[in-house]
Amino acid sequence: MTSSASVAAAPAHHSGEPRRYQMYIDGDWVDAQSAETFETVDPYTGETWAVVPRAGAADVDRAVTAARRAFDDGPWGRMTAVQRARLMRRLAEVIADRATEVGVVESLDNGKLLREMEGQLKGLPAYYEYFAGAADKLHGDTIPSDRSNFFIYTVREPVGVVAAITPWNSPILLMSWKLAPALAAGCTFVVKPAEQAPASTLEFARLVEEAGFPPGVFNVITGFGPDCGAPLAGHPGVDKVAFTGSTAVGSAVMTGAASHLAHVSLELGGKSPNIVFEDADLEAAANGAVAGIYAATGQTCMAGSRLLVQESVYDELVGRVAARAASVRLGDPLLAETEMGPVAFAEHRETVESYISVGREDGATLLAGGGRPSQPELASGFFVEPTLFGDVRNDMRLAREEVFGPVAAAIRFSSEEEALRLANDTAFGLAAGIWTRDLQRAHRMARGIRAGTVWVNSYRAVGPMAPFGGFKASGLGRENGLEALQQYTELKTVWIELDGATRDPFNLA
């Protein structure tokens, strides 16, 4: 068995020959059967830093077959929930030990701040510990029968082989939102990370290996959507497909899964309203607006990209956000003082810039940013300035379509009723923020908003115990919380006949 390349020991950008990775299938490190590879680029330097295998349908089949064998015939399928939980807790320990190392790889791959990537990795053990604690509490019910000669009960069993297709913005965190409940339920797992940022998931496979999971329980294949993602979603050996990404791709994934009637969970896009009322703490609200759209360079499905502000405080609040946007420190994502790094890849920068042009053309007022930074040391990276548009109408494209970048659209409203109407006037329904000191208003708005998560006087908080997912075009199903655990199981009903009496075979019992 060969070993995957080791991670960088200190926060520094890679130099010299690109690091070479292999895939992890059935407990072995392997190349693609075609021997093809592709490059991954550091968004800060614009240079290739790693080379990974380019998997095809044959590699997908190999990984799914390994996962199926581990589920049906391997030691994993014979383990008790307590034994699975013990392995998950060991994995949590390994993750905690390697959080900085793997965080560096994630930052090199997608350009997000090391302090965020490292923070995510340091918080990740809590997810595996939470679901490890739930693994042996996954049970069914006894059901009172309407007939005295039957005893009825239910049991929950693992759904089987899970295929996960994950995004480039937070690869390991969003994979773990799927993997942790899947392992707790007793499933096996094949993950295809986004081709723009695959390396950290391969590094994570080293942690799974070190934790001692049996071969085939966790498998990583790397490649592109048509060659790798589509065959994975459509593979008849897959029992559930779990996807995080854009709504358009999610629809295609769902179509592939439907070809063999696999279970599906989809965590998709958003155009979330961050709503500021006139009685809010404006300093806190402005800080929350910055967190909602400029954190993670705006590359997050839950971004508060529509900033809805009551007209009486609109100028003050938007002015505060514009000033803060202008002062955000752009720079090397590996440095602690950097507040915003580049977007993840060159094509995505072009997409973000096209929406900035659309905002200008549609008549919105540019209040901050709108271009590329002028500092020479940032010229090689895929940077976009933190951008804020004012005087946006909710029918503009800037308010309707997901930009997935550091671009906020400020919209005025006059009343609570108008705020609620604007908040819900979207194809999406992933998240929302409400800023107010009025507790009754907060509850009214939280009840009325059609979104999967609502934050009050906060934004962008998540945890393993709290279900996360969307309404409408933002997806299907929930991740995190006990609700997620249910979605990696099948419910079986058992009828036990008690008296042995012969019944009429032509009459429904």
Question: What would the pLDDT profile of 37-51 be if each residue is shown by its tens digit?
Answer: 999 999 999 999 999
pTM metric for this prediction:
0.95
Which whole number is the average pLDDT over 92-100? 97
Q: Do residue 73 and residue 113 come from a single domain?
A: yes
Question: First CA to last CA across the chain, in angstroms?
Answer: 57
Q: Do residue 179 and residue 41 come from a single domain?
A: yes
User: What is the C-alpha to C-alpha distance for residues 6 and 13, in angstroms, rounded to an integer?
Assistant: 14
Q: Do residue 306 and residue 438 come from a single domain?
A: yes
Q: In what order do the strands lie in the sheet with 150-158?
A: 142-143, 150-158, 489-497
Q: Is the per-residue pLDDT at 382 higher than 60?
A: yes
The pLDDT of residue 509: 64
Q: Do residue 451 and residue 366 come from a single domain?
A: yes
User: What is the C-alpha to C-alpha distance for residues 71 and 82, in angstroms, rounded to an integer?
Assistant: 17
Tokens representing 472 are 């409408």
**Strands 431-435 vs 240-244: parallel, antiparallel or unpaired:** unpaired
Count, in order, helices (H) and strands (E) of the chain.
16, 21
Residues 384-404: b if buried by 16+ CB within 10 A, e if exposed: bbbbbbbbbebebebbebbbb
Q: What is the CATH number of the domain that holds 364?
A: 3.40.309.10
Q: What is each CA distance from 499 to 150, 153, 305, 502, in whole angstroms? A: 8, 17, 64, 9
Q: Do residue 124 and residue 206 come from a single domain?
A: yes
Q: Do residue 184 and residue 254 come from a single domain?
A: yes
Residue 117 in any domain: the answer is: yes
User: What is the C-alpha to C-alpha distance for residues 502 and 465, in angstroms, rounded to an integer?
Assistant: 49
Find residue 243's DSSP bridge partners. Answer: 165, 266
**Known catalytic residue at 267:** yes
pLDDT band at 17 (very low <50, low <70, confident <90, very high): very high
Q: Is the per-residue pLDDT at 3 higher than 70?
A: no
Q: Which amino acid is at 224?
A: F
Chain-wide mean pLDDT for the chain? 96
Q: Do residue 95 and residue 210 come from a single domain?
A: yes
Q: What percent of the chain has pLDDT over 90?
A: 96
SS3 359: helix
Domain region containing 89: 24-268+470-492
Residue 19 in any domain: the answer is: no
Q: What is the CATH number of the domain that holds 233?
A: 3.40.605.10
Q: Which of 116, 118, 129, 267 is catalytic?
A: 267
Tokens representing 323 are 């000033």
User: What is the C-alpha to C-alpha distance for residues 212 and 509, in angstroms, rounded to an integer?
Assistant: 48
Q: Do residue 192 and residue 46 come from a single domain?
A: yes
Q: Is the per-residue pLDDT at 6 higher than 50?
A: no
Number of structural domains, the chain? 2
Q: Do residue 258 and residue 277 come from a single domain?
A: no
Q: Is the per-residue pLDDT at 4 higher than 50?
A: no
Give tens-digit pLDDT for 54-68.
999 999 999 999 999
Find residue 53's DSSP bridge partners. Answer: 37
Residue 499 in any domain: the answer is: no
Which whole number is the average pLDDT over 82-99? 98
Residue 6 in any domain: the answer is: no
Q: Do residue 149 and residue 297 come from a single domain?
A: no
Give tens-digit pLDDT for 386-421.
999 999 999 999 999 999 999 999 999 999 999 999
Transcribe 191-220 into DSSP letters. Answer: EE--TTS-HHHHHHHHHHHHHTPPTTSEEE
**Known catalytic residue at 209:** no
DSSP single-letter state for residue 479 = B
Return the closest-CA partner of residue 160 out of 78, 233, 57, 77: 77
User: What is the C-alpha to C-alpha distance for residues 162 and 67, in angstroms, rounded to an integer?
Assistant: 8
Q: Which of 118, 195, 301, 385 is catalytic?
A: 301
User: Is 273 in contact with 304 (CB distance < 8 Å)?
Assistant: yes
Residue 390 in any domain: the answer is: yes
Tokens representing 169 are 């913005």
Transcribe 367-403 into DSSP letters. Answer: EE--S----GGGTTS-----EEEES--TTSHHHHS--
Angle at 383 between CA 380 and CA 385, to 5 degrees: 140
The pLDDT of residue 1: 38
Residue 240 in any domain: the answer is: yes
Give tens-digit pLDDT for 244-266.
999 999 999 999 999 999 999 99
Q: Do residue 240 and residue 360 come from a single domain?
A: no
User: What is the C-alpha to C-alpha distance for residues 358 and 352, in angstroms, rounded to an integer?
Assistant: 10
User: Is 392 in contact with 399 (CB distance < 8 Å)?
Assistant: yes
Q: Do residue 386 and residue 475 come from a single domain?
A: no
Q: Is the per-residue pLDDT at 98 higher than 90?
A: yes
The pLDDT of residue 502: 87
If you compute the radius of gyration of the chain from its CA atoms, what whole number of angstroms results? 24
